[in-house]
Structure 1
Amino acid sequence: MTISFHDLSRMTREERDALLKRTEADLSQYEEKVKPIIAAVREEGDEALARFARQFDKAPVERNTIAATEADFARAEKTLDPKVKEALSFMAGSIRRFHEDQKPEEMWFHEIRPGVFAGDRTTPIPSVACYVPRGKGAFPSSVMMASIPAAVAGVKEIAIITPPGPDGQVDDATLVAARMAGVGKVFKAGGAQGIAAVAYGTQTVPKCAKVVGPGSPWVGAAKRLLSHVIDTGTPAGPSELIVLADDTADGRLAGLDLIIESEHGPDSSAFLVTWSRKVAEDAVAAIPEFWAQMGEQRVSYSSAVLGGPMGGIVLARDEEEAIAFCNDYAPEHLGVHSEEPFQYLGRLQHAGEILLGRHTPPTLGNFVIGVNHVLPTSGWARTGSPLTVYDFMKRTSVAYVTGKGYPELARHAEVIARYEGFDGHANAVSETRARLLRKNA
């Protein structure tokens, strides 16, 4: 299995730009297939959800078994490996602590000018659905990354929707993670039908104000078609990673980390960016050794990425060219391998997360540090942010003007209102109001 090697000094501008491209799913072909699914869920509710679970997930689900029961939660608690439960509890604690520290104050209110007060009040959104995929495995970490920030934000109604397994049940770790996050509503509703269920509500699944979490192109197409009905949040594409390594880095460690996001699927992207040929060569030599310790499917994914046009080694002329490439790429995950990683932090402008040093592999960020692993992809890190408590909260502007502060504001506001042609605006702050205020004094 060959690892791609991209030498920036020998590449044209067009060839360099081609490295910045990601897998772009054409959702139009899915949208036409998704439309009847959405319509069926809207019209039939639970009956459609059960039918689609049997059809698409090959799971024995009936309309009266869509919701996970207390017995399901109890079974999961009893059967899940204690070591897994311990790790999930550790993860939950880190995620909760990080997002509690992130939570903004409930309200700020400042005197902007004499007698003029303004501020923001921050309150939770009323409800949210957290989509947890299951196609390539079970992902209890996604349960916690989506639902714990929502709980910290104060969202009262939190639901989890996830595809059922072949046995018609929700994965045990998913149920345990949900309970640890404080969520008791888990529904067997995956794919486009799950998104439709929380957009419109069914007899069992509650209608929600927002849905978060990554999913298949079917999920993406449903979100796009239902974005006028439910807040679908920031779109999430395939996984991305850049490992930036200077000449003090260990190429073997850089290669070890490069595999992390490349094993998600053949549509992922993963580059080692360095200006040290030795680091690059050491990584290339070590990666096959690491593949030998992995399962066949994950190796097939990783080798497809690292041997293709969206992965491998990027050799830069110098650190300026390497950092410029990282910023142009704006990756989801950016790891920095150096004995002094903080020296680069100020120049790294665009990334969903920046993981500094050889002891901070993406695995830790994905699971146990506490930072959120739901991150902007496809270059959206230029303007987007990780999932945070802010995604589950809304700000309301609050203002109060005293009698002392009113006259100066009114004078300037009337001028602007008349210039823009808004007579009603202008009259409301004109002498007409002043006369009425004097009468009420």
Structure 2
Amino acid sequence: MLDLKLMQKNPEIVRQSLEKRGSNIDVQEFVDLDTRRKALIGEVESLKAEKNAVGPEIAKRKKAGEDASDLLKKMGEVSARTKELDAELTEVEAAEKEWMMAVPNIPHESIPVGESEDDNPVLRHWGDKPEFDFAPKEHWELGTELGGLDFERAAKLAGSRFSISFGWCARLERALAQLMLDTQTDQHGYTEVLPPFIVNTKTMTGTGQLPKFEEDLFKLTDDRGFYLIPTAEVPLTNVYADEVIEEEQLPIKFCAQTPCFRSEAGSYGKDTKGLIRQHQFYKVEMVNFAHPEKSYEALEDMTAAAEKILQILNLPYRVIELCSGDIGFSAAKTYDIEVWLPGQDKYREISSCSNCEDFQARRANIKFKPADSKKKQFVHTLNGSGLAVGRCLVAVLENYQQADGSVIVPEALRPYMGGLEVIEAK
């Protein structure tokens, strides 16, 4: 959520931000609401002052045995009008809050202005694309032929956009997640967390999934307002909701492997085959609570930590910077890491690392107390995939495939695979 004072004092900054994002949200709606809110407060205060001024006169008349009915009638009218204004003020404040909750973050001044993903600049490449003397297969062909992936039986159990992994494939996905967790905790200073996979409405609101993106979520069908998490970013970021962190504790860095559940609303017809876009998948997520003065340094470090996994696995990738028209709702700046998939002959996103600045912290009320000041400040929150496990499995299968249909196990994963070097059909 944006700073209310910024909206009130300089709505033009927000208007320009929304224009860069290509948003059709009208800032004038907020200006009109806030103008009405201020007018209502002024009128209520004036009526209360009038009531306070007349009160002693009524008491004086009653004490003297004089008639005070005219004043009592007038105060009854004032009380009725005050009640009407208070009710309208409550409605206006609720509408103003609803408007504020729907407005995305302000993009950082350094990000490129653009309309869509086509305008995202590539910052760097890493690794060499593998060269094959045969036509490379896509991961769903490899996984199925090698007996590790089964989409038909998964559809029988749950419907489309689900999969079942057997044997080597289940172990390979577990190995990838373990490698990611070990790397982020041992080399990059993250603390591993195992959070709930079901959260409440307040938690979803804190990170920006609600109210705007409810159709993308799986909501439990009871009346308690519970949702399955779409990413571990949601519970991890809200660990410190409504709390004050001491400055010396910053940065706080969490990572977690969790299942992620997404309805994929609006994605019908996209990536219907394979593991790229599923309703349930696993991801290792990184979350950082950073000092505002150091959050952009933390963004570079987080992106490097995500890249490290691909470097360990020797998977070629590129890093792009999202433009203003493609950046996420809560983010101020985002880097996407895209891994090369030879079977699809294209790069596909495998990680997205974002600095949300104080946008989520305002929604979740997460502050820190500077050592040299009594005034509390909002922390900056960052999040990034380190990495999407299923998509990493896709990349391993497609980049390490052999002409005979087998797949070489990357050296870094062999200790997690019981020493297995090659995946072959049985």
Q: Which has the higher strand share?
A: 2
* Same fold at TM > 0.5: no
Instruction: Give the TM-score normalised by the residue count of structure 1.
Output: 0.22
